[in-house]
Structure 1
Amino acid sequence: MNLIFSGKTKDVYELGDGHILLKFKDDVTGTDGKFDPGANTVGLTIEGVGQAGLKLTKFFFERLQAAGIPTHYVAANIDDATMTVIPANVFGKGLEVICRYRAVGSFLRRYGLYALEGQPLDAFVEVTLKDDERQDPPISKDALDMLGILTSEEYEILKQRTQEISGIVKEELAKKGLELYDIKLEFGRNKDGELILIDEISGGNMRAYQDGNVISPLELEKIMLDI
């Protein structure tokens, strides 16, 4: 294996067969020791969260594949905390796509003049640039097109798929008595130029609440998978 990138929550390796291997870490994003899926720094390390995150990612990616939604998922090895995926090219230097059902986190920090904490949102889709130096700035559809990052047509597909995927995740959480507040997704293009879901879907990239209380990533995965 050839290490090609070491990220905040995963290491990325190139395999000899043309596939990519993702190694899940026990690190989660956040600030001051508190978990925050929208943060661009590692906030804390939780033992076992990498393996648990992979279990939930496997669950959701197989659920999405059954629904006919294209992803990069190939297979997962839970014991090794690794996932095999097909190669995909990211948009620009990387985008994060957030689907919001309630006003919390960075949405509330930016729009608190108008939004109330926990205010319901109608599957609001927000795109941000992966840019630690500039604090992952939000970017509009027009700017994405003008800067050559994503075409207007691709943006509409991105938005539709984000809402569709997030809706499936929300439904699955609801079956366990959990409410999805927001979720962060990533997309890329496969070798044929098709827009596909990449990265992961786990407790580390979403906020879920139960009876008004936020659920930690590890606890979320235990609830979802009946561990």
Structure 2
Amino acid sequence: MIPRKPLGFLIFAALAVAAAAFVWFGLPHDREVKSLGIFLLKLLPFVFAAEALARLDVEWAKRIRLVLWLVPIMFLVYFLYFVPKIFYFGGVVNGSREAYYGLYYHVLTVTPLIIISLVLAYRLGGGTPAVVRRLAYGMLLLMLSGLEDLAFLTVNDHTDPQWATIPAVWDWASHMTVFIGHPPTKYEAYAFIAVHVLLALAVFFSPQRWWDGLRARSMARFGKPAGVGSESV
């Protein structure tokens, strides 16, 4: 039995997901708007999502720690689907190597800004310092994990033989090379990704008392009282 308070949120969230799926998979990906009806239809996922958020019961969301699930999932939808598609269509299909490098640099520079923007919105909405740190550092670990590199190879329809299968050596993954000391093999890259994902999950879902202890030590170091009780999500 679904509690009454979150029912409105869940209904509109489901409508938003269904509408988004219909728009993405059921309608042509046209650059031009063909009619007012199609234009309004494509706005429905946003409207349903906004109404869902307006109906979200904050206390219920805190009890089930919704922020630690939903914000990282939404970030991963952007980072593991849309970013690889941007790189593929903007660089591999239509761009020169120089254009690809410029696109790559700009997208991966704006990604930490997106993380901070999500965390800022949470904090301004009354979010706790502990969860701010969980979200920020957990999503940063996901960004640095190499998941996007793997997604680039798997979500796109590559015709170039170099990318049609997962390469044995990931010589482009310099963020892995600087840690490992050499360009990682495919299986070293998988291990690198797995370690970062596990660390991110530990950040998101480790016991609250660990973060309370960190906060208490930090406040004691600066001469402030640690306070009583723990912060809720």
What's the TM-score, normalizing by structure 1? Answer: 0.28
Compare CA radii of gyration and give the structure with the larger one: 2
User: Which structure has the highest helix share of the two?
Assistant: 2
User: Which structure has the highest strand share of the two?
Assistant: 1
